[in-house]
Amino acid sequence: MSRVYNFSAGPAVLPEEVLREAAEEMLDYRGSGMSVMEMSHRSKIYDSIIKTAEADLRELMGIPDNYKVLFLQGGASQQFAMIPMNLMKNKKAAYIVTGQWAKKAYQEAQIYGEAVKVASSEDETFSYIPDCSDLDIPKDADYVYICENNTIYGTKYKKLPNTKGHTLVADVSSCFLSEPVDVTKYGVIYGGVQKNIGPAGVVIVIIREDLITEDVLPGTPTMLKYKTHADADSLYNTPPAYGIYICGKVFQWLKKMGGLEEMKKRNEEKAAVLYDFLDQSKLFKGTVRKEDRSLMNVPFVTGDKELDAKFVKEAEAAGFVNLKGHRTVGGMRASIYNAMPKEGVEKLVAFMKKFEEEN
Ligand SMILES: *Cc1c(COP(=O)(O)O)cnc(C)c1O
């Protein structure tokens, strides 16, 4: 068996330890005689899996008691609709457009009400985070929406926007559990887990209880009401049971690693290895304004499309895979999520140095 260094933006690298444990438990989960995949989601044994996962996530993030944790399906993209359907009481919301995912959420919200674009960085190909200290937010906006880490463009909010008292809703798909967060600053934090936590098929929504009501837009399907899932502790219907089990293992792994403070430290060290190299390289260049750089997704270019392609090809042959940039951006992107060891980034940089000397 040989594992590569996987720089995929998502689905992405998972801790090897977690995968090994899951493999060991594949045929017989702790004496049950069956795989977690084969279990009733209403069984006692599964109940303990999902409850433990939730408790560990609450502990890791310091989630207060007045927030619900929901394990849902439909990916982050389904939240683009669920959020306005459930939260747009005044049929108005403010959107900050910092990349494709934020733009998609903004466009989806327009189906349900008035989505107001209060800031954008599209003028410079989303290579920065706009100043959000004094935005013109409509008084009757139900919420302010952000994508906190822009997976495709490699930017991250270092400071949350001044929402002027409005509820903050954040898509954290690609920075989930990468550093500590103050949950109380948000009304809703959500993300697909396939970037930094687990296998595709699970989306986690952390939502303040007062935002969970029956007062949703007319025609909202039962399955798309937060209340449906909150009332049933994510077991209204069959949840993505196996995916939640793997997420639970990753939560345990994070706790063992020292929690989110420690992850932040590691992620900063890891990202610095790559950014420091990019800053002095004569061949490779980062594409993002320095102060807005993501710790998770690092886009870079040579400035020459053919050379980019050559790099991606040779890197792959050397065991560094999925470095090709997003199809809409080109160049390269190294996603260096929690489970990417520092050694992987160091070896990538050594490879980049060699490539620079040779080209
Ligand atoms: C990947 C991603 C999405 C889309 O996730 P799906 O689960 O595929 O719908 C949305 N937002 C961000 C920030 C992402 O990185």
Domain boundaries of the chain, sorted by first residue: 5-15+257-358, 17-256
Asked whether the beta carbons of 150 and 127 are under 8 A apart, the reply is no
Residue 176, ligand 1, Cβ within 6 A: no
Phi, psi (degrees; rounded to nearest 5) at 96? -105, 120
Q: Which residues contact 196 (CB under 8 A, 6 or more apart)?
A: 12, 173, 174, 175, 176, 177, 178, 296, 337, 338, 339
Cα(78) to centroid(ligand 1), Å:
9
d(CA 183, CA 162): 15
Return d(Cα 276, Cα 156) in angstroms, integer. Answer: 18
For ligand 1, whether the C-beta of 102 sits within 6 Å is no
Tell me the CA distances in angstroms from 62 to 10, 67, 183, 199, 211, one per residue in order.
26, 10, 7, 23, 19
Considering the candidates 56, 142, 171, 292, report the single residue annotated as catalytic: 171
List the catalytic residue out of 68, 92, 156, 195: 195
Both tokens of residue 165? 């008292």
**pLDDT-based confidence at residue 340 (cuts at 50, 70, 90):** very high
Query: What letter represents residue 307's amino acid?
Result: L
| pLDDT reported for residue 2 | 86
Q: Does the C-beta of 11 come closer than 6 Å to ligand 1?
A: no
> What is the C-alpha separation between 319 and 26, in angstroms, rounded?
28
Q: Give distance in angstroms: CA of 287 to centre of ligand 1.
A: 21
0.95 surpassed by pTM: yes
DSSP letter (8 states) at residue 49: H
Percent of the chain past pLDDT 90, that is, above it, reads: 98
Mean of the per-residue pLDDT values of the chain: 97
CATH of domain 5-15+257-358: 3.90.1150.10
Q: Is-contact 99 129, C-beta < 8 A?
A: no
If you ran DSSP here, which 8-state letter would residue 153 be given?
T
Task: Please report the DSSP string for 110-142 in residue order.
Answer: TTTSEEEEEEE-GGGTT-SPPP-SS----TT-S
pLDDT interval class at 327 (50, 70, 90): confident
User: Which protein residue has the closest C-alpha to ligand 1 atom 7?
Assistant: 75
Residue whose tokens read 């050397």: 318
* pLDDT confidence of residue 171: 98
C-alpha–C-alpha distance, residues 114 and 230, integer Å = 27
Ligand 1 centroid–CA 344 distance in Å is: 24
Class of domain 17-256: alpha beta
- Which residue's CA lies nearest to atom 14 of ligand 1? 173
CA-to-CA separations, 196 to 41, 150, 175, 203, 298, in angstroms, rounded: 24, 13, 7, 12, 15
* Ligand 1 lined by 79 (C-beta under 6 Å): no
Are the C-beta atoms of residues 70 and 205 closer than 8 Å to each other? Answer: yes
Query: 253 an active-site residue?
Result: no
10: left (phi over 0), alpha (psi -120 to 50) or beta: left
Q: Grade residue 329 by pLDDT with cuts at 50, 70 and 90.
A: confident
d(C-alpha 57, C-alpha 63), whole Å: 8
Structure tokens given for 144: 């302010």
Tell me whether domains 5-15+257-358 and 17-256 share a fold. Answer: no
Q: Residue 39: pLDDT band by 50, 70, 90 thresholds?
A: very high
What is d(CA 297, CA 357) in angstroms, rounded to the nearest whole number? 25
Residue 95 to residue 169: CA distance in whole angstroms: 10
Kindly report, residue by residue over 235-254, the tens digit of the pLDDT.
999 999 999 999 999 999 99
Residue 1 is predicted with a pLDDT of 75
Asked if 185 is an active-site residue, the reply is no
